[in-house]
Amino acid sequence: MCGIIARIGHGDATETLLSGLENLEYRGYDSAGIAVQNGSGVKVHKTSGEVADLKATLDTRPSGNIGIGHTRWSTHGPPTDENAHPHTDTAGDVAVVHNGVIDNYDELRAQLQSQGHEFHSDTDTEVIPHLIDEYRQDSASTEQAIRKAIDTLEGSYAIAALVDGEERVYAARKGSPLVLGLDDDEWFLASDVPAFLDYTDQVIYLEDGDLVVLEPDSYRITDLGGTPVERPVDTVDWDPDDAGKGEYDHYMEKEIHSQPTALANTIEGRIENGTVSFDDLEPGKFADIDTVQFVACGTSYHAAMYAGQQLRTAGLQTAVIRASEYETSAGPIDESTLVIAVTQSGETADTLDAVRTAASHDAQTLAVTNVVGSTAAREADTAIYIRAGPEVGVAATKTYSSQAVTLTLLTQRLAADVPEATPVDDSEELLETLEDFPQHVETVLETSQARLLAREFMNSTSYFFIGNGLSHSVALEGALKFKEITYEHAEGFASGELKHGPLALVTEKSPLFAVSTGDADEKTKTNAIEAQSRGAPIVAVGPATSPLVDVADAHLSVPDTHPVWAGLLANVQLQLVSYHAATLLERSIDKPRNLAKSVTVE
C-alpha cells in the first residue's frame, strides 16, 4: 500500500510528481503530498484526501528540479493532514516518503524524543527523517547517515529522501517495491512503473538491500555496506496509453472494455500445434509433482479456484488455499508439491508469505503475475506473466480474465507433464475455441443488458450470486466485485449451499444471479427455483442454451462456447452489472472506500 515517487533532473519536478502520484493512487488515496527542493529549502505540501485535493491546495505550483511524493493508505494513524507524507525532521531539512511498516518505531520515537526531536504525526514513518538528522550530526556524509538510519529500522520500507542544500535523492528498499526509471535527462524512482511510464520505459527493478543515490546527471546503486552493485536495465513493454483513462469515465470501465485486447496478448504464442507452451516452462518440468497448491487472495483466489476445479478434473491432487491461511492450513508440503502463487501485483504480503513458507519446505514455487520484476516474480522459482497490461482501477477486472485464461493453459501443461494426470477429454476443443474468446468478450461488451438490470434492481436489500462446479468461483467473484464498488450487501455461494442457511435472507428484494457455463447447470437451476419460490427475482447469466434460462426472470446472455470460456464470459457480464450499479449509486468507482489495490500489509 502507499505509492511513492521521486524525480530528479534539470527541468521542474512538480507536474511530474503530481501526474505520477495520480497513476499511483490505486495504491492508496487517504492523503497525498510532495516535497520539492529548489535551492531555498525543502518545501513540503500535503493534505488529507486525494491527489486532486492536493492540487487544489497549490495556488501556485512549487518549483524545483528535485522532488519526492506520496499517496497514502493509512496504517499508523488516521488519514489527517499531519499524518500525510512527506515527513520531516524537527528543522524541516530532511523530508522522507515511505511505503511499508516500521516495526520498531515506538522505541525509536521514544529515544529520539528524549534527544530533543519533535514529532507531529502518529505515523511510523516520521522516525526516519529524525533518525537521518540525528545520524548526520556525527557522520561524514548524509549517505553514511542514511545507511546508519536504515540499519536501525526493523520492518519493511521503500523510502525516498531529500535533504536541504543537496542536489540528490536518496532511496532504499527492503520488502516494499521500488523501481528506478531512466530517461535521457531525468531519473525517477517509484513504487510502480505507471508513475513514470509517460516519460520512459527503461527501468531497473531494485532489490532488497539496495541504496540508491540519484544526482541530476548520474545514479549509483550500492548495497548497505557501500559496495557498488550492478542491476540490469529492462525495457517495459506496457504502452503509456494503458496508464490513462482514455475516452472512458473510469479506469474500471476502460479496463473492462480492454479485455479483448488484453486477452489476445495473454494468449499470443502460447498455443502451438494444438499444445500449450510457456517460454520458461520446458516440457516435462513438472513431471515429478504429485500435489498442486494454489495460493492467492481476493479476486486472484477466485481465478485460482477456477483453475483448481479444472486441475482436479484432470485427476491431480489440488488444493486452493487463501494465502492468509496458508501457514495454518497448507498440510504436508515437500519437494513434490508445486505451489502456484496467483497475484496480479506480485506484491500482496499474504501471498508472498505463503510463497516463503512453501519454499522453506522445499516446495517448487511458480508465480503467475501481471507485473514483471515484482517481488513474487523474483522470489518464486519460476514466473509466468498474464500480460494484461497495467490495471489501475482498484477492482480487478481484466487481470482476473487474463489470470483465469493463463491458469487454464497452465492446467493443460500440468496435465500433460504429470504422469498421474488424465488430460481432459475435450482439451483439443478447449484450445480451439480459445481463439474466438476475445471476440466473444467483445460481443458481450457490445450487447450486454447489464445496465438495465442494474437499474431495475437498484433498491434491493441484498444481492446473491450462485453457481456450481466451475461457475461457483464466478459467483464468488461476482459478489466480491459487487460489494467492493457498490457498498451494497452481496454474497456468493455454491448453489447447493443456499438452502443450508442463506435462504433465510432471500426475499423479493434480493435478486439472485445464477451463473451457468452451459454444463452441469441442473443443480443451479433447482436451487434458483427454490429462491424464486421465496420471491427472489432470478437472473440467469450464461449461454442461451442453459436450462436456467427457461426458469429465470431475466437473462444476461453469453455466446455459446466451451464451458470453461462461457464461465469467464458470464464473469464479464457480472463485471458490467457491478460497474453500472455502482455508477447509478454514484460510488467512487476506481477508488472504493477503505481499499487499495496492492495490499502489502498482513
List interacting residues with ligand F6R (CB under 6 A).
297-300, 343-345, 348, 351, 395-396, 484, 599
Smallest separation, CB 423 to ligand F6R (Å): 28
Smallest separation, CB 350 to ligand F6R (Å): 8
What are the angstrom distances between the C-alpha of 397 and each of 198, 256, 403?
Answer: 23, 6, 10
Smallest separation, CB 343 to ligand F6R (Å): 3
Whichever of 146 and 355 has its CB closer to ligand F6R, that residue is 355
Peptide bond into 86 cis (omega under 30): yes
Smallest separation, CB 91 to ligand F6R (Å): 39
- Local structure of 34: helix, strand or coil: strand
d(CA 261, CA 252): 15
Grid cell at residue 376: 513474487
Grid cell at residue 263: 486477452
Whichever of 8 and 596 has its CB closer to ligand F6R, that residue is 596
| Signed CA dihedral, 176, 173, 86, 106: sign only | positive
d(CA 381, CA 379): 7
Smallest separation, CB 376 to ligand F6R (Å): 8
The residues that are catalytic are 2, 597
d(CA 297, CA 300): 6
Whichever of 300 and 402 has its CB closer to ligand F6R, that residue is 300
Name, in order, each residue with C-beta under 8 angstroms of 265's C-beta and a sequence gap of 6 or more: 387, 388, 389, 402
Smallest separation, CB 256 to ligand F6R (Å): 12
Smallest separation, CB 257 to ligand F6R (Å): 17
Strand order in the sheet with 364-369: 317-322, 291-296, 337-343, 364-369, 382-385
Burial (CB < 10 A; 0-12, 13-18, 19+), residue 227, is exposed
Stretch (H or E) spanning 76: none
Smallest separation, CB 398 to ligand F6R (Å): 11
Whichever of 258 and 344 has its CB closer to ligand F6R, that residue is 344
d(CA 18, CA 69): 8
Which residues lie across from 228 on neighbouring strands? 222
Whichever of 47 and 402 has its CB closer to ligand F6R, that residue is 402
| DSSP conformation class of 118 | -
| DSSP conformation class of 96 | E
Smallest separation, CB 552 to ligand F6R (Å): 26
Burial (CB < 10 A; 0-12, 13-18, 19+), residue 234, is middle
Grid cell at residue 109: 520515537
Which residues lie across from 271 on neighbouring strands? 276
d(CA 111, CA 108): 5
Chain residue whose CB lies nearest ligand F6R? 298
Quick count: other Cβ atoms within 10 Å of Cβ 423? Answer: 15
Whichever of 346 and 563 has its CB closer to ligand F6R, that residue is 346
Whichever of 2 and 162 has its CB closer to ligand F6R, that residue is 2
d(CA 343, CA 357): 16
Whichever of 199 and 482 has its CB closer to ligand F6R, that residue is 482
| Signed CA dihedral, 60, 64, 70, 71: sign only | positive
Q: Is 382 left (phi over 0), alpha (psi -120 to 50) or beta?
A: beta
Whichever of 219 and 301 has its CB closer to ligand F6R, that residue is 301
SS3 per residue for 341-380: EEECCCCCHHHHHHHHHHHHCCCEEEEEECCCCCHHHHHC
